[in-house]
Amino acid sequence: MSRIGVFVCHCGENISATVDVAKVAEEASKLPGVVHSVDYKYMCSDPGQTLVKEAIKEHNLTGVVVAACSPRMHEPTFRKACAQAGLNPYLSEMANVREHCSWVHEKSEQTTQKAFDVVRTMVSKASNNAALEPIKVPVTKRALVVGGGVAGIQAALDIANTGHKVILVERSPSIGGHMAQLSETFPTLDCSQCILTPRMVEVAQHPNITLYTHSEVESVDGFIGNFHVKIRKKARSLDEDLCTGCGLCTTKCPQKKIPSEFEQLLGTRPAIYTPFPQAVPNKPVIDRDNCTFYKTGKCKICEIVCPTKAIRFDQEDTILEVEIGAIVLATGFDVKHSDFFPEYGKGKYKDVIDGLQFERLASASGPTQGMIRRPSDGQIPKKIVFIACAGSRDPAKGIEYCSKICCMYTAKHAMLYKHKVHDGEAHVFYMDIRAGGKMYEEFVRRAIVEDHVNYTRGRVSTIYELDGKLIVKGADTLLGAQSVEIEADMVVLATAGVASEGSEDLAQKMHVSYDQHKFFAEAHPKLKPVETNTGGIFLAGACQTTRDIPDSVAMASGAAVKVAALFSSDLLTREPIVARVNRIPGPSHSTCVGCFLCQPVCPYQAIEREDIKDRAGNIIKSLARINEGLCQGCGTCVALCRSKSIDLLGYTDNQMHGEVLSVLEEAFV
């Protein structure tokens, strides 16, 4: 007979405000097998855990049920407490009476009853629990970093500096990300490229880092410590070993008018190109969609001029297969463009640009060499309107969140403009100024007080063009929502930051969860900000939510430490929640009939064939066997097995039936 202890947590008031916790504890004490039942304000606290530990010893418990929150956070806490008290940790269970009960119901008798029902099912499960031992698996000490912006660069360098090998994969032809596009950075106004490019070079030269640009992750299999990753190295159309990066091909290419992605379409590039002069690697790539040779079969000028004969028109994509122990996702963000705003012209006005475009205009290496010139006619605008919260905090446009970086970069933009065009007027329309950060508020004040940027609190209703001017119609809500109409030469929209293109696709490949805006989801919003719910996969930078450079770099270093910690031991302890094919004495050996229907459905390729042989070596029976190192405990095979020969440890048929029956019994009484 099992001896079970029930521990009902108040969770401060999170549970006790709607559930009568004392009553639940009292009723639980009457359940068969329960020998001890108490409630306590914070069961996860040290005194709370001590309650559990002492009860185990005092009452000689064979099982523990903690009625509290979701197991996600505190199941490990109580398992550890059990282990410390000498009880096998897998004999403890969490009854989730918070997310499943107190948070979603009003205070009532039924709510208390439901909480008790949840406890009852878990008591029933616990009485069928068996002791389990954790599984040890080896760790491949090589990390994969996806995305070569500042976060990916920082993560790769930090991991590499702990002595471990890193593969950095970047989709575009060069690393650098958005930071390489920026002119100057807030709040210090230091040049973005000046601080970034040395890091980019460091990545290229680091002995522990292998860099694959113009490459994408094709697929990911396996699990923490043992990922198997395929990387598609897209054809660059040149032999990278031969190419010296002299750039002659790029100057001779007859196609010169292709809108440059790096210049945010404000500048042009040839068909064979490096995105920018400081690109790493400094080796060009042929854009086959725009190359004359690929379109017409004629040209090959780049091949003719190349001094090292490095051009390879017939090069194909290659797939690299690598073993990886941990992955850091650092795929960054995109911004919305002016075509997202019907009320601001839906992209039809050339001089309504987004913030990244302004960065290129302000950048010394940009299409205007750092002169602020408007795209339509190249004139220097004498009046610029900056619109903050363009698309952000706008549920009607599907983006309810604050993009966080725009207040600061708008202040920076206005300031840079005033520094470059002394007689220019800068107007900013804003809703709130969110300048939380070291020296941030001071920076915004400087823009307003010292650089005379005119801040107006209100949103712009519409923009239309008249005689080469942009008529901006806004309101000043601090003057009783009085109309403000400005005839501007250029308008800069601080457009919302959004998840980078393809992030949903990547998340699905990685089995990483993501939010409704396609940003990757952290494992816990406060305590596990760089972890994902998938073991061994970590997050860095703006792929989790838009964030600025200091935050991205800090997060990248955090993710690097998580990787280093994982690589610090040779073996990894894993949950023993795996499927197992039953074994019984001969002559049948197992109820498994060897149909192997389970094999193709296993998402982790964990099911192998095991031949049982007699002494003479003749095969007498073939059985399915599950590789515990690969099995992730998803249970698909269990559901499919026709002879009911597979059980999921920790969630056996017996345990699940116990849970269900305990509910049904009550329902039919």
Partner 1 sequence: MSSASNHEIHVDNSLSGLILKHTEVPVQKCYQCGKCSAGCPVVSEMDYPPSLILRMLQTGLPEMEEKVLRSYSIWLCLSCEQCISRCPMEIDIPKMMDYLRQVSYKKKMVNPRAKNIVRFHKAFLDSIRTTGRLSEFGLTVDYKLRSLKMMQDLTLVPSMISRGKLGFIPEMIKGTKEMAKIFAKTTGLKSEEEK
Partner 2 sequence: MKLGIYPGCSLTGSARDYNESVFAIAKACDIQLEQVPDWNCCGATAAHNMNKELSLSLPARILAQAEKAGLTDIVIPCAACYSRLMVTQHELNNDPVLKNRISEIIEMDFKGTTNILNVVQMIDLYVSPVLKEKIVKNFSHKVACYYGCLMVRPYKVLQYDQHEDPQGMDNVIRLLGGTAIDWGYKVECCGAGLTMSKTEIVGMLSGKIVKDAARRGAQAIVVACPMCHSNLDMRRPAINEYIGEKMDIPVIYITQAIGLALGIDEKTLGLQRHFVPVKMAEYIPPVPESKKQKAKEPTNTI
Residues that bind partner 1 (CB under 8 A): 13-14, 17, 99, 102-103, 343, 389, 393-397, 431, 457-462, 473-477, 480-484
Q: Is the Cβ of residue 369 or residue 461 nearer to partner 2 in the bound state? A: 461
Q: Is 350 in the site for partner 2 (CB under 8 A)?
A: no
Q: Is the Cβ of residue 466 or residue 527 nearer to partner 2 in the bound state? A: 466
Residues 136, 309, 346, 609: which binds partner 2 (CB under 8 A)? 346
Q: Is the Cβ of residue 343 or residue 570 nearer to partner 1 in the bound state? A: 343
Residue 580's binding partner out of partner 2, partner 1, none, with CB under 5 to 8 Å set by partner kind: none
Q: Is the Cβ of residue 390 or residue 572 nearer to partner 1 in the bound state? A: 390
Q: In the complex, what is the shortest distance from the CB of residue 530 to partner 1, in angstroms, rounded to a whole number?
A: 21
Q: In the complex, what is the shortest distance from the CB of residue 402 to partner 1, in angstroms, rounded to a whole number?
A: 11
Residue 318's binding partner out of partner 1, partner 2, none, with CB under 5 to 8 Å set by partner kind: none
| CA 271 remoteness from chain centre | 33
Q: In the complex, what is the shortest distance from the CB of residue 471 to partner 2, in angstroms, rounded to a whole number?
A: 6
Residue 458's binding partner out of partner 1, partner 2, none, with CB under 5 to 8 Å set by partner kind: partner 1
* Dist CA 608 CA 626 (whole Å): 6
The residues near 330 (Cβ < 8 Å, ≥ 6 apart) are 145, 146, 147, 148, 149, 151, 152, 155, 539, 540, 541, 543, 556, 559
Residue 465's binding partner out of partner 2, partner 1, none, with CB under 5 to 8 Å set by partner kind: partner 2
Q: Is the Cβ of residue 102 or residue 655 nearer to partner 1 in the bound state? A: 102
What are the distances in angstroms from CA 218 to CA 136, 142, 227, 239, 288? 28, 18, 13, 22, 21
Q: In the complex, what is the shortest distance from the CB of residue 221 to partner 2, in angstroms, rounded to a whole number?
A: 45
Q: Is the Cβ of residue 375 or residue 635 nearer to partner 2 in the bound state? A: 375
Residue 474's binding partner out of partner 1, partner 2, none, with CB under 5 to 8 Å set by partner kind: partner 1
Nearest Cα to 650, choosing from 638, 664, 633, 636? Answer: 633
What are the distances in angstroms from CA 505 to CA 27, 120, 143, 171? 48, 41, 21, 14
Q: Is the Cβ of residue 481 or residue 601 nearer to partner 2 in the bound state? A: 481
Q: In the complex, what is the shortest distance from the CB of residue 467 to partner 2, in angstroms, rounded to a whole number?
A: 8
Judge if the upstream peptide bond of residue 281 is cis by omega within 30 degrees of 0.
Answer: yes
Q: In the complex, what is the shortest distance from the CB of residue 566 to partner 1, in angstroms, rounded to a whole number?
A: 29
* Dist CA 656 CA 481 (whole Å): 62
Q: Is the Cβ of residue 349 or residue 519 nearer to partner 2 in the bound state? A: 349
* Dist CA 336 CA 353 (whole Å): 11
Residue 464's binding partner out of partner 2, partner 1, none, with CB under 5 to 8 Å set by partner kind: partner 2
Q: Of residues 425-464, which lie at the interface with partner 2 (CB under 8 A)?
A: 462, 464
Burial 269-290, CB ≥16 within 10 A → b, else e:
bbbbbbbbebbbbbbbbbbeeb
Residue 577 token pair: 């929640």
SS3 367: coil
Residue 461's binding partner out of partner 1, partner 2, none, with CB under 5 to 8 Å set by partner kind: partner 1
Stretch that binds partner 2, among 30-38, 150-158, 339-347, 549-557 (CB under 8 A): 339-347
Q: In the complex, what is the shortest distance from the CB of residue 538 to partner 2, in angstroms, rounded to a whole number?
A: 41
Q: In the complex, what is the shortest distance from the CB of residue 38 to partner 1, in angstroms, rounded to a whole number?
A: 23
* Dist CA 270 CA 276 (whole Å): 12
Q: Is the Cβ of residue 118 or residue 598 nearer to partner 1 in the bound state? A: 118
- Partners of 238 in the beta sheet? 311
Burial 5-14, CB ≥16 within 10 A → b, else e:
bbbbbbbeeb
SS3 letters across 181-216: HCCEECCCCEEHHHHHHHHHHHHHHCCCEEEECCEE
Burial 459-493, CB ≥16 within 10 A → b, else e:
bbeebeeeeeebebebbeeeeeeeebebebbbbbb
Residue 483's binding partner out of partner 1, partner 2, none, with CB under 5 to 8 Å set by partner kind: partner 1
* Dist CA 254 CA 62 (whole Å): 79
Residue 475's binding partner out of partner 1, partner 2, none, with CB under 5 to 8 Å set by partner kind: partner 1
Q: In the complex, what is the shortest distance from the CB of residue 377 to partner 2, in angstroms, rounded to a whole number?
A: 17
Q: Of residues 459-488, which lie at the interface with partner 2 (CB under 8 A)?
A: 462, 464-466, 471
CB atoms within 10 A of CB 602: 21
Q: In the complex, what is the shortest distance from the CB of residue 14 to partner 1, in angstroms, rounded to a whole number?
A: 6
Q: Is the Cβ of residue 461 or residue 508 nearer to partner 2 in the bound state? A: 461
Q: Is the Cβ of residue 396 or residue 619 nearer to partner 1 in the bound state? A: 396
Give 600-661 as a DSSP string. Answer: HH-TT--EEEEEEE-TTS-EEEEEEEE-TTT-----HHHHH-TT--EEETTS-HHHHHHHHH
Q: In the complex, what is the shortest distance from the CB of residue 487 to partner 1, in angstroms, rounded to a whole number?
A: 15
Contact residues toward partner 2 (CB under 8 A) are 342-343, 345-346, 348, 462, 464-466, 471
